[in-house]
Structure 1
Amino acid sequence: MKKIYHLSSCNTNQRILKELELGDDVELHDIKKENIDEQTLDFIKEKVGSYEALFSKRAMKYRSMGLNEMDLSEDDFKKYILEEYTFLKRPFIILEDEVFVGNAKKTVEAAKKAYHGS
């Protein structure tokens, strides 16, 4: 399974997709059109260790909803990610058994190496 969950309207995500030089073997999912499903979210959580690691605290709604002032549990992080695509860190890259989350340069480079096998 090779999938990338991204936001097509995000310039950073567009740049990363170009940088990865992907082939036709990768399925792209625009999370604005179709948010991540619970089964996939649970799979990724198992790989990274927590829902909080998948949650974007940079999302504008994080502050506007007052979530920054709450003590959120793992169940809360999961619930908000499933309800609102903006809370998912992106891009989200699944390459078989490896998962890469976020747009940090180190993460993107690791995903590129994993995809191209170098």
Structure 2
Amino acid sequence: MKKIYHLSTCKTCQRIIGELNGGEGFVLQDIKTEPITEAQLQEMYDMAGSYEALFTRRSRKYRAMGLHEQELGEADYKRLILEEYTFLKRPVVVVEDEIFIGNSKSVVAAAAEKAGIN
């Protein structure tokens, strides 16, 4: 399976999808219009090893909700990601049994290599 969880309105996600052959061969899921399910999040967790790895603190709601002043645990990260799509670190690229989280050059390059894109 090759899948990209992204936001269609995010310029960074659009750029990365472009770098990944325009998403050709991938199932694209816009998490704003098609929210991730608990089962999908569990699958990502199983590959990533933690919900914290899937969670972004860059969301505007992170500070607005006062989360920066709280000690969050794995259950909190899971709940927040399911409640609010902006808390998922984007994009999340799944290729076979590997997960690539975020937009750093090294993560995108590793995802492209795993997907066979040069």
Judged with a 3 Å threshold, the aligned counterparts in structure 2 of structure 1 residues 107 and 78 are, in CA distance, closer, same or farther, namely same
Amino acid at match of 1:81: I
Following superposition, which runs of at least 4 residues in structure 1 exceed 3 angstroms of deviation? Answer: none
Give the TM-score of the pair, scaled to structure 1. Answer: 0.95
Deviations 1:48-81 (A, max 9, x none): 1110110010000000000110111100000000
**CA RMSD after TM alignment:** 1.3
**Residue number in structure 2 paired with 1:11:** 11
Amino acid at match of 2:95: L
For structure 2, the 5+ residue unaligned runs are none
Give the distance between the partners of 1:3 and 1:60, measured in 2 at CA.
Answer: 26
**Residue number in structure 2 paired with 1:106:** 106
Name the SS for the 2:110 alignment partner.
Answer: helix
**Residue number in structure 1 paired with 2:25:** 25
For structure 1, the 5+ residue unaligned runs are none
Give the TM-score of the pair, scaled to structure 2. Answer: 0.95
Q: Which moved more, 1:19-28 or 1:76-85?
A: 19-28
Name the SS for the 2:103 alignment partner.
Answer: coil
Judged with a 3 Å threshold, the aligned counterparts in structure 2 of structure 1 residues 99 and 61 are, in CA distance, closer, same or farther, namely same
